[in-house]
A and B are shown apart, each in its own frame.
Chain A
Amino acid sequence: MPRRFIILLKVLVWALCLSPVSLLVWKATHDELGANPLSEITFSTGHWTLYLLLITLAISPLRKLSGLNWLIRFRRMVGLFAFFYGCLHLMTYLWFDKFFDIHEIVKDVYKRPFITAGFTAWCLMAPLAFTSTAASIRRLGGKRWQNLHRLIYGSAIAGVVHFWWLVKRDLTRPEIMAGILAALLAFRIVDRIASRKPAPALKSVPTS
């Protein structure tokens, strides 16, 4: 893939990843966030965290299935944007919902399972964001870095559980997300098993 094409595509993906937050800002400044703007911001940033996490997790399987190796060069960017929306989402909660009342926040994280799950998802994402540079990979060593970054599976699972547990009644959206996540994780398991034992060499079957 030509370098120029990759750069162009990266700019495009950047802009796309920024469009949800741009839209929120535009709506906020044009009184288009509806009756309950803070809830709108919370939902939107939360949804986009999950969408981008799932897209990040889809990159490796897509690469393997399609053979398009350059896809991997977008994984870090999309993953960092997932973390970016995760931070915005956490911030709306800490600020607009709890107004930084530490006592209330601790109580909430402890008492409300869906908050516990959401907070866990963010905590598992944070170390990945902080070790996302090439220098970190060198410092940690490829194997250790890779092991650390498997935390994304836990983060995505906790994120979907967080969404599932907060919905009042209609579970369609969390169900779709859980389905996609399950497929992405199943692909990895199958891929692992398939690559562990190479296809057994055909033995000649004795004919009696």
Chain B
Amino acid sequence: MLIKKAADIPSSEITPKSLYLDRRKFISGATIFGAALATGACEMARPSQTVEANTKLSTVKSSFSTDEKLTPLKDISNYNNFYEFSVDKYGPADLARNFKTSPWKVQVTGAVAQKKTYDLDELMKLASLEERIYRMRCVEGWSMVIPWVGFPLSKLIDQVQPTSKAKYVAFTSVYRPSEMPGQRSNVLDWPYTEGLRMDEAMNPLTLLTFGMYGETLPNQDGAPVRIVVPWKYGFKGIKSIVKIDFVGHEPATAWNKAAPNEYGFYSNVNPNVDHPRWSQATERRIGEFLKRKTLMFNGYGDQVASLYSGMDLKKYF
């Protein structure tokens, strides 16, 4: 359902976004400078408040949405784990500013009847865009509630018709060190890769995501197209995808390669299986003071628990 609200003030009176962004940039720049002076430049004033201009998307509502309080856009677009730009969560908002998301192609290949390289526009038109309000649980112990925009990955999978050899889906992010400064260091093995088992990829919750808050994705949140798998830790939601490959074996994934004993292929949200170095029993919802108990499968057990029946989730973490 497309909800249009009459504008309260004529558009001529609205400060253009670029102007007020510049003003904010100036203010936050001045703050950083002052803070650097005060502290001998050791600690930077980290949070800059950046919200980029994006294209509006019309969406239909989804019964998979939660009615929990949304995390403000300001937080979702300024607190990002996007190591392609920076290992500092406040880094990507600024560093992703000049990342070019157009033109954009996504190659769909491997064990499918219809191999095809999609233009982003074409990909977005494969199915009607839905707004899906999902909980997002980071492996570091914080969480958000995010109104994503996208359609189930299964719609794309149906289009390309996987053969019987397709057991897993392997995703690859863009590799563009000229625009992604984080890729110039080897914190992870670039390009970022992720994967899902076929039944996970086909689950109606798994979202091929193009936007949030009713607009196209901000660059720092994985523009122009990413995956969202709400019952898994956030890092499974690979960003800025250029390749989707249907394969017969469990694909290598970036974090698993980096620290195999800490980040498993499945990485389902599970309060009973601790990260080797910290507990996963609780989480801090961004914007809240008290910590919450983490829910099994991030609260999506009804939809996904059956995928793992009979599996030892301590072994397949």
Interface residues of A (CB under 8 A from B): 16, 19-20, 22-23, 27, 32-36, 38-40, 44, 47-48, 51, 96-97, 99, 108, 112-114, 165-166, 168-170
Interface of A is mostly: helix
- Report whether B79 and A20 are in contact in the complex, using a CB–CB cutoff of 8 Å: no
Q: Which of A20, A33, A38, A112 contacts B39 (CB 8 A)?
A: A20
Whether B258 contacts A112 by the Cβ 8 Å rule is no
Residues of A within 8 A of B31 (CB): 32
Which residues of chain B (184-210) have a CB below 8 Å from chain A?
A: 185, 187-188
Closest-CB distance, B244 to chain A (whole angstroms): 25
Contact status A169-B38, CB under 8 Å: no
Known: A169-B87, A169-B188. A22 touches B38 (CB 8 A): yes
**Residue in A closest to B138 when the chains form the complex, CB atoms:** A36
Cα(A168)–Cα(B83), bound, Å: 11
Given A16-B40, A20-B39, A114-B277, A168-B140 contact (CB < 8 Å): yes
Cβ of B165 within 8 Å of any chain A Cβ, yes or no, is no
A and B contact pairs by CB, cutoff 8 A, 17 listed: A16-B40, A19-B40, A20-B43, A23-B45, A32-B31, A33-B47, A34-B79, A35-B286, A38-B289, A40-B46, A97-B291, A99-B291, A112-B279, A169-B83, A169-B258, A170-B87, A170-B185
Give every chain A residue within 8 A of B74 (Cβ-Cβ). 35
State A22–B42 Cα separation when bound (angstroms): 14
- List B residues at the A interface (Cβ < 8 Å): 31, 35, 38-40, 42-43, 45-47, 74-75, 78-79, 83, 87, 89-90, 140, 142, 185, 187-188, 258-259, 277-279, 284, 286-287, 289-291
A82: shortest Cβ distance to chain B, in Å?
A: 14
Which residues in A have their C-beta under 8 angstroms from that of B87? 169-170
Contacts of B278 in A (CB 8 A): 112
- In the bound assembly, the distance between CA atoms of A48 and B42 in angstroms comes to 9
Tell me whether A34 and B90 are in contact (CB under 8 A).
yes
> How far is B142's CA from A114's CA once the two chains are assembled, in angstroms?
19
Known: A22-B38, A35-B78, A36-B286. A27 touches B45 (CB 8 A): yes
Chain A residues with Cβ below 8 Å from B290 are 99
Indicate the member of B47, B79, B185 with the most A CB atoms within 10 Å.
B47
Bound: A55/B194 CA distance, A: 43
Q: Are A23 and B291 in contact (CB under 8 A)?
A: no
Q: Are B187 and A169 in contact (CB under 8 A)?
A: yes
Chain A residues closer than 8 Å to B258, beta-carbon distance: 169
Give the residues in chain B near A44, CB-CB below 8 Å: 43
Report A15 CB to chain B, min CB distance, Å: 10
* CA–CA, A39 and B141, complex, Å: 10
In the complex the two chains form, what is the Cα distance from A32 to B32 in whole Å?
11
Instruction: Write out the residue numbers on chain A whose beta carbons fall within 8 Å of the beta carbon of B78.
Output: 34-35
| A32-B43 in contact given A23-B35, A169-B188 (Cβ < 8 Å) | no
Residues of chain A lying within 8 A (CB to CB) of residue B284 = 36, 38-39
CB distance from A169 to the nearest CB of B (A): 5
**Option from A32, A97, A114, A170 in Cβ contact (under 8 Å) with B47:** A32
For A33, list chain B residues within 8 Å (CB): 47
Which residue of chain B lies nearest to A107 when distances are taken between CB atoms in the complex?
Answer: B279
Q: Lowest 4 A-B CB distances belong to which pairs?
A: A34-B47, A35-B79, A35-B75, A170-B87
- The chain A residue sitting closest to B142, CB to CB, is A36
Pick from B46, B185, B277, B279: contact of A34, CB below 8 A.
B46
Which residues on the B side are within 8 Å of A47 (C-beta)?
Answer: 42-43
* Set of chain B residues within 8 Å of A32, measured between Cβ atoms: 31, 45, 47
Residues from chain B with Cβ under 8 Å of A168 in the complex: 140
B79 partner residues in chain A, CB cutoff 8 A: 34-36
Q: Do residues B75 and A19 form an inter-chain contact, with CB atoms below 8 A?
A: no
CB distance from A99 to the nearest CB of B (A): 7
A51 x B47 contact (CB < 8 A):
no
Chain A residues whose C-beta falls within 8 Å of the C-beta of B185 in the assembled complex: 170
- For the complex, what is the distance from the CA of A22 to the CA of B38, rounded to whole Å? 9
Q: Contacts A97-B291, A170-B187 known; A35 to B47 CB distance under 8 Å?
A: yes
Chain B neighbourhood of A96, CB < 8 A: 289
Q: Looking at the assembled complex, report how far the CB atom of B231 sits from the nearest CB atom of chain A, in whole angstroms.
A: 21
